[in-house]
């Protein structure tokens, strides 16, 4: 019998995902009825493909559901839903990862090469004396060594940057100096000239970059945050920028999104705001991941990218 898959998202995303998911299911040999109809009787639904902007909040009636597949990598908005007792999987999508690598490398290179001086400083003065250093002399901290952090770390390493990685559990990654725990974080921050935050938002990571930890960085360091806004203490960040402890920050994610027009980040000369566009799940590369997970569930095999509710990611 065909399974019923409910796509719980907006019409825009349904239009983008409908065909790729249908094709991927066919390719995976999964017989399924795919619908976005919110009136689908809950007791007939086997799988939910979920976007947090969906109106679906109460998972209680979906007693037959064998898996909820989140369409985004971050799960902080769904993982605490008390009605969700079904297995929850997060998205690990090659297209999403590729986009994040491009964003992080692009902004790291902007800082590394001092591009702003040339983009915004064309004043007729020939400053030939300032040649950018090589990447091999500029340590980068990668906070978070998951799907996205590892890919970004590898790309930066490939360009020559010494990469200092930090994660909850100790990792052993080729070419990356890996650290874990509070002492590891302090060791990493003490040497990093560019910091990239790619940890998920959990009770343990809220306010991760506070005044004390920002003060550990070498003076004049740069920060790139495509992780989550609440990883950073906003007031501490502004103070670090004002004092020169931080030279500049590129922020893609915020405690409140959209970032309110009156927020000081918009006007601060030390902040570049990007509107949560670092990367996004791509239908063509994510659909096979969704189909493979449903195939696994049907076959009773272990699910990919299962969220640990206790850890929150
Ligand atoms: P993963 O779950 O694959 O990796 C998370 C990493 O963070 C792991 O290395 C994990 O450690 C580490 N981590 C988690 N908690 C802690 C902690 N308390 N202390 C130290 N390290 C910790 O996530 P992804 O790489 O797929 O995604 C990371 C985040 O990126 C997402 O949660 C989301 O917030 C953000 N994101 C932003 C996007 C954007 O457009 N701005 C797009 C997509 C994602 P360990 O390996 O030991 O488990």
> What does the pLDDT look like over 86-110, one tens digit per residue?
999 999 999 999 999 999 999 999 9
Q: 94 C-alpha to center of ligand 1: Å? A: 15
DSSP bridge pairs for 272: 250
Our answer to whether residue 57 is catalytic in this structure is no
- Beta carbon of 278 within 6 Å of any ligand 1 atom: yes
Quote the pTM value. Answer: 0.98
Q: What is the pLDDT of residues 126-149, one digit of tens each?
A: 989 889 999 999 999 999 999 999
Cβ–Cβ under 8 Å, residues 220 and 195: no
- Whether 3-93+281-299 shares its CATH topology with 94-273 is answered yes
User: What is the pLDDT, as a whole number, of residue 199?
Assistant: 98
Name the residue at shortest CA distance from atom 16 of ligand 1.
168
pLDDT at 42 over 90: yes
Q: What is the pLDDT of residues 242-291, one digit of tens each?
A: 999 999 999 999 999 999 999 999 999 999 999 999 999 999 999 999 99
User: What is the pLDDT, as a whole number, of residue 1?
Assistant: 83
Q: Which of 276, 295, 296, 309 is catalytic?
A: 276
Q: Which of 112, 157, 228, 248 is catalytic?
A: 228
% of the chain exceeding 90 in pLDDT: 98
Topology given in CATH for the domain delimited by 3-93+281-299:
Rossmann fold (3.40.50)
Range 205-210 average pLDDT: 98
Q: What is the pLDDT of residues 59-72, one digit of tens each?
A: 999 999 999 999 99
43: burial class by Cβ within 10 Å (0-12, 13-18, 19+)?
A: exposed
- Beta carbon of 229 within 6 Å of any ligand 1 atom: no
CATH homologous superfamily of 94-273 equals: NAD(P)-binding Rossmann-like Domain (3.40.50.720)
Range 147-157 average pLDDT: 99
- Beta carbon of 224 within 6 Å of any ligand 1 atom: no
The ligand 1 atom at the shortest distance from the C-alpha of residue 167 is 21
pLDDT band at 159 (very low <50, low <70, confident <90, very high): very high
Q: Considering the chain, what is the average pLDDT of its residues? A: 97
pLDDT at 5 over 90: yes
Helix (H, G, I), strand (E, B) or coil at 191: helix
10: burial class by Cβ within 10 Å (0-12, 13-18, 19+)?
A: middle
Range 165-181 average pLDDT: 98
The ligand 1 atom at the shortest distance from the C-alpha of residue 145 is 9
Extents of the domains making up the chain: 3-93+281-299, 94-273
Cβ–Cβ under 8 Å, residues 197 and 231: yes
The ligand 1 atom at the shortest distance from the C-alpha of residue 169 is 47
Q: Which helix (H) or strand (E) holds 283?
A: helix 283-299
User: What is the pLDDT, as a whole number, of residue 130?
Assistant: 87
| Residue 213 CA, distance from chain mean position | 21
Q: How does strand 176-180 pair with strand 163-167?
A: parallel
Range 149-175 average pLDDT: 98
């Amino acid at each position: 019998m065909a399974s019923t898959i409910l796509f719980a998202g907006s019409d825009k995303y349904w239009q983008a995902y409908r065909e790729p998911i249908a094709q991927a299911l066919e390719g995976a040999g999964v017989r399924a009825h795919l619908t976005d109809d919110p009136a689908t009787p809950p007791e007939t639904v086997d799988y939910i493909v979920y976007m947090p902007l969906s109106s679906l909040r109460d998972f209680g009636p979906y007693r037959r559901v064998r898996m909820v597949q989140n369409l985004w990598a971050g799960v902080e908005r769904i993982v605490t839903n008390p009605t969700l007792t079904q297995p929850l999987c997060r998205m690990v999508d090659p297209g999403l990862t590729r986009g994040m690598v491009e964003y992080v490398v692009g902004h790291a290179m902007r800082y590394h090469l001092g591009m702003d001086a040339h983009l915004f400083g064309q004043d007729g003065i020939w400053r030939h004396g300032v040649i950018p250093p090589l990447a091999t002399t500029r340590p980068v901290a990668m906070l978070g060594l998951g799907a996205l952090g590892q890919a970004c770390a590898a790309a930066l390493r490939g360009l020559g940057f010494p990469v200092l990685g930090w994660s909850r559990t100790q990792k052993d990654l080729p070419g990356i100096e890996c650290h874990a725990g509070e002492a590891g974080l302090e060791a990493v921050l003490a040497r990093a000239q560019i910091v990239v935050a790619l940890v998920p938002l959990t009770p343990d990571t809220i306010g991760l970059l506070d005044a004390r930890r920002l003060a550990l960085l070498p003076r004049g360091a740069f920060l790139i945050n495509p992780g989550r806004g609440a990883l950073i203490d906003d007031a501490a960040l502004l103070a670090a920028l004002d004092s020169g402890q931080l030279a500049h920050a590129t922020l893609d994610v915020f405690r409140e999104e959209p970032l309110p027009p009156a927020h000081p980040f918009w006007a601060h000369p030390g902040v570049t705001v990007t509107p949560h566009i670092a990367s996004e799940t791509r239908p063509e590369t994510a659909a096979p991941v969704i189909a493979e997970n449903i195939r696994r569930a049907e076959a009773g095999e272990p699910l990919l990218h299962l969220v640990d509710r206790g850890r929150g990611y």
